[in-house]
Amino acid sequence: MATNGNQAMDEDKSPAPKNYQEYLMLQNLLKCQVLQSEKAGKPVHDEHLFIITHQAYELWFKQMLFEIDSVREIFVVPTMDESRMLNIINRLQRVSLILKLLVDQFIILETMTPLDFLEFRQHLATASGFQSLQFRLLENKLGVKQENRIKYNQQHYMKVFNDEESIKMLMDSVEQPSLLAVVERWLERTPGLQRHDFRFWRAFETSVSRWLDETIYQPYIEETDPKMKETLMAEYQKQKDSFDTILDPIKYNTFVERGERRLSHKAFQGALLISLYRDEPRFHQPYQLLTLLMDIDSLMTKWRYNHVMMVQRMIGSKVGTGGSSGYHYLRSTVSDRYKVFLDLFNLSTYVIPREYIPPLTMSMKRTLSTLSTEVESGIEDQSSSLESSDQSNEDTSQVMFTM
C-alpha cells in the first residue's frame, strides 16, 4: 500500500475514535470553511459554495493520488506478477469513476453567477486554482510532460509554490517514474514481441503491405480512368506514409523527439500487439488496462474542458492583474499536449482489418492462453521442453512481462 506520506501519521498516538464524528475527524473537517467575505464583515452567500466545491475537489484529488501511487508501486516492484492485475484494474476503474464525478461536479459551481463571484473575488487576493498542488502532482504522476506545459502569465507552474514541502513533493513527482513510464516499461515486455517463432513486428509489416496492396494498389493498377487513378495513387501514398511513421524506427523516433509520440517504439509495438490479439486470454486484462488509461486521459481533458466553460461563464475573458486571461490559459491546456496516453488513442490509426492480422503460431497461442506466475512458469519450463526449441526465448519475454 502506498504510505500516507507526510500527512496524518504523526498523529499516530491519537486514541482510537469512539464514533463516526471522531473517525472522520469532522470536528476539524467542518471547521475548514471560513468565508473571507464574512470575516470582512459583508458575508456573500455564494462564497460558501465556492469553498465547499473546491474542497470536495481536493479531497477527491487526494484519493486519486492515493490510487495512482499504489498502482505505480505495484508496477515498479521487480517481482510484480499478473496476480496484481485485478488490483491495478480495480483501482484505475475507481480513478475513472472519480473523474467522471468531478467532471459532473462543475454543474454545481455553475449555479454561482458572475455578479456573486465578483462580490467576494477581491477577498481571494492572488489565490487561484493554478496553485493547486495536488492537481500538479496528479498531472506529473500520470505523466504530463514538463516541456509540454503551457506557461500562465509567463510563469512556470512550479514557481507559485514556495514552501519546501510542496517543492519537494513536486520535484519527487517529476523524478519518480510516472504512470506513463511504468506502463511503458511493462509494455516493452509484452510477451510475443521478441519471440523467434512469431516475430510480431515483421509479420505486422508484411500484413500492412499486403493490405495496402490488395485494397489500394491493385485497384490502382486496374483503374483506367486517369482521374480515379490519380486519387488512388494519392491515397496509397498517404496510407504508406502514415504507416511508415510507425514501421520505420528512425521516423518513429523523430516523432518521439518532437514530443508527438510519448511511448518508446518497443512499447508502442507492445500496445499494438495487445490491441490486435486482445481476445487471447492472457491479453484480456492488459487490454482492459489500456482501455482504462484512455478513459482516464479522456476524462482528464473533459475535466479541463468543463473547467474552461465554467471559468468563461464566471469571468468571461476578463484579464487578471498579472496579464493574460485565465480563460485563454486554461483553453490552451485542453489540447493533445496535455494528453498523456495520446499514443494509445492513435493506435486506432494503425489497426488493420481482422482478416489481415497475422495468425498466431501454435506456441505463441499457447503462451497467450496462459498466465505466468512464478509457480506456473516453473511447470511451463518442463512442458515447454516437450514442445519446441525456442521456448527459452519465450520464457524470457514472458517473465519480463510479469516482472
Residues of span 209-268 touching a copy of itself by CB under 8 A: 231, 235, 238-239, 242
According to CB under 8 A, which one of 108, 167, 171, 221 is a site residue for a copy of itself?
108
Q: Smaller CB distance to a copy of itself: residue 124 or 221?
A: 124
- Measured from the Cβ of residue 211, the count of other Cβ atoms closer than 10 Å reads 18
Report the residue from 172, 228, 237, 281 that binds a copy of itself according to the rule CB under 8 A: 281
Question: Is residue 272 at the binding interface for a copy of itself, with CB under 8 A as the rule?
Answer: no
Contact letters (x/-) for a copy of itself, 114-153, by CB under 8 A?
Answer: xx--xx---xxxxxxxxxxxx-------------------
Q: Which of residues 164-183 bind a copy of itself (CB under 8 A)?
A: 166
- Only one residue has cell 501454435, namely 362
Find the part of the chain contacting a copy of itself (CB under 8 A) among 138-146, 177-185, 189-197, 383-391: 383-391
The footprint of a copy of itself on residues 41-60 (CB under 8 A) is 43-45, 48-49, 51-52, 54-56, 58-60
Under rule CB under 8 A, residue 154 binds a copy of itself: no
Q: Which of residues 305-364 bind a copy of itself (CB under 8 A)?
A: 305-306, 309, 312-319, 321, 345-354, 362
Which DSSP category does 152 fall into? B
Instruction: Let me know: does 102 contact 305? Beta carbons within 8 Å.
Output: no
Cβ of residue 278: shortest distance to a copy of itself, in angstroms? 6
Single out the segment in contact with a copy of itself by CB under 8 A; choices: 9-17, 147-155, 199-207, 246-254.
Answer: 9-17
What is the Cα Rg of the chain in Å? 26
Residue whose CB is less far from a copy of itself, 107 or 171:
107
CB of 202 to a copy of itself, least distance (A): 21
Q: Is residue 156 involved in binding a copy of itself (CB under 8 A)?
A: no
CB of 359 to a copy of itself, least distance (A): 14
Cα-flanking dihedrals φ and ψ of residue 299, to 5°?
A: -70, -35
Main-chain phi, psi angles of 353, to 5 degrees: -55, 145
Question: Does residue 153 come out as left (phi exceeding 0), alpha (psi in the -120 to 50 range) or beta?
Answer: left
Phi, psi (rounded to 5 degrees) for 315: -125, 5
Reduced to 3 states (helix: H, G, I; strand: E, B; else coil), residue 185 is: helix
Check binding of 389 to a copy of itself (CB under 8 A). Answer: no
Question: How many chain residues interact with a copy of itself (CB under 8 A)?
Answer: 145
Quick one: which H or E segment has residue 287? helix 281-315
Least Å distance, CB 256 to a copy of itself, is 17
> What one-character-per-residue DSSP string does 199-251 give?
-HHHHHHHHHHHHHIIIIIHHHHH---HHHHHHHHHHHHHHHHHHHHHHSHHH
Q: Which residues face 152 on adjacent strands?
A: 155
User: Nearest CA to 259 among 347, 348, 177, 338?
Assistant: 338
